[in-house]
Structure 1
Amino acid sequence: MACSIGSEEKNFNHVIDVYFDTFQKRYYFLNNPKFSVKINDQVIVETQMGLAIGKVVSVKKNTGIKNAGEPLKMIIRVATKKDIEKNNELKSDAIKAGYIFKNKLKKYSLNLKLVSTEYTFDKKKLIFYFASEDRVDFRDLVKELAAIFRVRIELRQIGVRDYAKMVGDCGSCGKTLCCKSIINKFDSVSIKMAREQGVSVAPSKISGVCGRLKCCMGFENTQYMEVKEDYPAIGQSVITVEGKGNVTSMNMLNDLIFVNIEGKGLQKYSLAEIKFNKIEKMEIEKRQVCSYEESN
């Protein structure tokens, strides 16, 4: 994709989407009018944790985009061949630091699991990302690590979703986890979304490998709600060519409606093959919402 920002553009009318492979997230930065930037370039930027090197994945028009409400910082420079070599060395040093960290864990008997290790690009800070179900007092460990590496040490605890994102796995669909492949920011997901999508609310069906509600239910919910407008409610009476029956379940994305017809059992239809009262549908859904809110 030949998309770049030339030095002739002196204003900040574009933002650069930069991907960081250690914590596998993207953040936005302002273009620097002193040089050109193109997709797949490695760039040096300043983050909350210090200097870092990231990869340009897209260039967008500046429409007031912010990082978690914070004003955007400017890209410092495009990484040189020497910068990239230095970054590879830092990654190698970080892996070695991780082994030392794991050995020290045995000494302090801390209940935590190391996920990833990272040096900032200026090598002034060494960050250990870890997961733990407990609140961990690691002050003595930090002091010893600081004495060994002679840089500022930071231990950063991550949640179960970030752990799944950084480690990676396959979901129940057989594909790479959404958080690993496409999700940059975790949005809230609710049981209500599962009910609206006709998904079983059994924990084994709606929980991801992280133990939390599956992210896909969140970002697919808008599409389900749009399609749902044309379909009957669960439990609603509908008319088919084989008689009148009640809707027991639906697979809206595949246009499948399962209707229980007295004397004939469960039958399968498409939306075009049934008729139903839309006013009755609205009343049923309203009662279902009230029932759900009362139970919660």
Structure 2
Amino acid sequence: MGCSSCSTAKDGQPKGCKNNGTCGSDGCNKLTVFDWLSNMSLPNGEKPFDCVEVRFKNSRKEFFRNSENLSLSIGDLVATQATSGHDVGMVTLTGELVRVQMKKKKVDYKKPDLPKIYRKASQKDIDIWQKCRNREEEIKKRAREIAIVLKLQMKISDVEFQGDGSKATFYYTAEERVDFRQLIKDMAKAFGIRIEMRQIGYRQEAQRLGGIGSCGRELCCSTWLTDFRSVSTAAARYQQLSLNPQKLAGQCGKLKCCLNYELDVYLDALKDFPGQDTKLFTEKGMAFCQKVDIFKGSLWFSYKDEPSNWHVLSKDQVLEIVAKNKKKEKVASLEEYVTETLPEVEKVFENVVGQDSLTRFDKPKKRRNNRNNRNKKKKRNNYKKRPTNNA
């Protein structure tokens, strides 16, 4: 995620476009959309779709009607209709794909009250917009100080100005209901603008602010993930993950969304797989399941009297023993069914860089000095053996 102006500056420092996700190439933006129908022309007599998708700060996107038939393309800044005044946003999608997106978001494009696009943003609109964007961090800090003085149990996470600078939306998170009437009065008096408070969840907060996850990549919710599905601890149990809240929780403090990515594959594999609570009855004694490997199709069982001695069985073998137990038949022992396992090959990590020891530079090298000393001795001996000419 980087545009052509996000190159490297002097001394290897990242230059950055400093547009805070509003560069014209749309490469630094969150939830960037690729228009794969841009090179295709419409059939004869077909009018272009008159709605466009506009993105505002962070991941907020809305649909507007292009009633003025403006020639718009991805990356254009436009002045759009707002509740009062106008807002400034960037066009992220045009054409027939907007119809698909509106259908997906369940927005009726035939509604007569769909907000409109006034015009392409002029330089004056852009200057006012950028000036308001530069004030957001300062106002957010001041708003947090006011909330602390009023002893409100809430966290103001983000501030978004309207394009004309007449209104600011404060996004906050709170565990309980908050009475912020006095807060609105104090902020309206301090900032001289109209205030709107909007409560969001912890996942939405992480989506707006962004960050780096434990995998080392940008958060899925701030780059490509658009819908939040509920994540439960059952997803971790199906995938045989340790129920450690520190490892399973993301930056938002909730369970990681990536726990659902491979869940369907595990559920399909577990359809005809014996449960982990399966018990096998043998003449030698009852055996319990200790470990399961779903994709290798292996299960480890141990006798009740020998819990440290594990026996590896395949899925089919376990199902066969379970079928016999249902008929009240006992097998002789688990040793008859143990699969032959190949010995694990110990991995030998080779030193591909050639650095044998971390302390290789601690001891001074003496080879070069010894070689120089030997060369000096040879020169002295040769000089002594040189014949002299007596006159």
- Taking structure 2 as the reference length, what is the TM-score of the superposition? 0.54
Unaligned runs of 5+ in 2: 1-33, 280-287, 304-308, 323-391
| CA distance, structure 2, for counterparts of residue 178 and residue 80 of structure 1 | 34
| CA distance, structure 1, for counterparts of residue 51 and residue 264 of structure 2 | 27
2:359 — aligned with what?
none
CA shift in 2, pair 1:220/1:148, >3 Å: same
| CA distance, structure 2, for counterparts of residue 131 and residue 163 of structure 1 | 8
Paired amino acid for 1:113: K
1:249 — aligned with what?
292
Where in structure 2 are the equivalents of 1:204-219 lying within 5 Å?
Answer: 204-219=246-261
2:87 — aligned with what?
52
Unaligned runs of 5+ in 1: 238-244, 282-296
| CA distance, structure 2, for counterparts of residue 204 and residue 230 of structure 1 | 30
CA apart distance, 1:45: 3.1
1:91 — aligned with what?
133
Instruction: Determine which structure has more spread, i.e. the larger CA radius of gyration.
Output: 2
Paired amino acid for 2:79: I
CA shift in 2, pair 1:209/1:96, >3 Å: closer
Contact 1:43 1:75 in 2 (8 A): no
1:37 — aligned with what?
72
| CA distance, structure 2, for counterparts of residue 203 and residue 210 of structure 1 | 12
| CA distance, structure 1, for counterparts of residue 66 and residue 316 of structure 2 | 56
1:228 — aligned with what?
269
CA apart distance, 1:91: 0.6
- The number of equivalent residue pairs is 267
Give the superposed CA RMSD: 4.3
**What per-residue deviation string (whole Å, max 9, x for no partner) do you get for residues 2-25 of structure 1?**
838999998563753433224x23
Q: Secondary structure at the match of 1:186?
A: coil
CA apart distance, 1:36: 2.2
Return the structure number with greater relative CO, CA threshold 8 A, min gap 6.
Answer: 1
Identity of aligned residues (%): 27
CA apart distance, 1:143: 1.2
**What per-residue deviation string (whole Å, max 9, x for no partner) do you get for residues 247-274 of structure 1?**
93346xxx5555327798476x9xxx97
Indicate the larger mover: 66-75 or 80-89. Answer: 66-75
| CA distance, structure 2, for counterparts of residue 111 and residue 274 of structure 1 | 54
Where in structure 2 are the equivalents of 1:64-103 lying within 5 Å?
Answer: 65-66=102-103, 69-72=106-109, 73=114, 75-76=116-117, 77-103=119-145
Contact 2:129 2:164 in 1 (8 A): no
CA shift in 2, pair 1:27/1:144, >3 Å: same
Of residues 260, 277, 296, the one that matches 2:300 is 260
| CA distance, structure 1, for counterparts of residue 148 and residue 249 of structure 2 | 32
- Is residue 63 of structure 2 the alignment partner of residue 21 of structure 1? no
CA apart distance, 1:228: 2.9
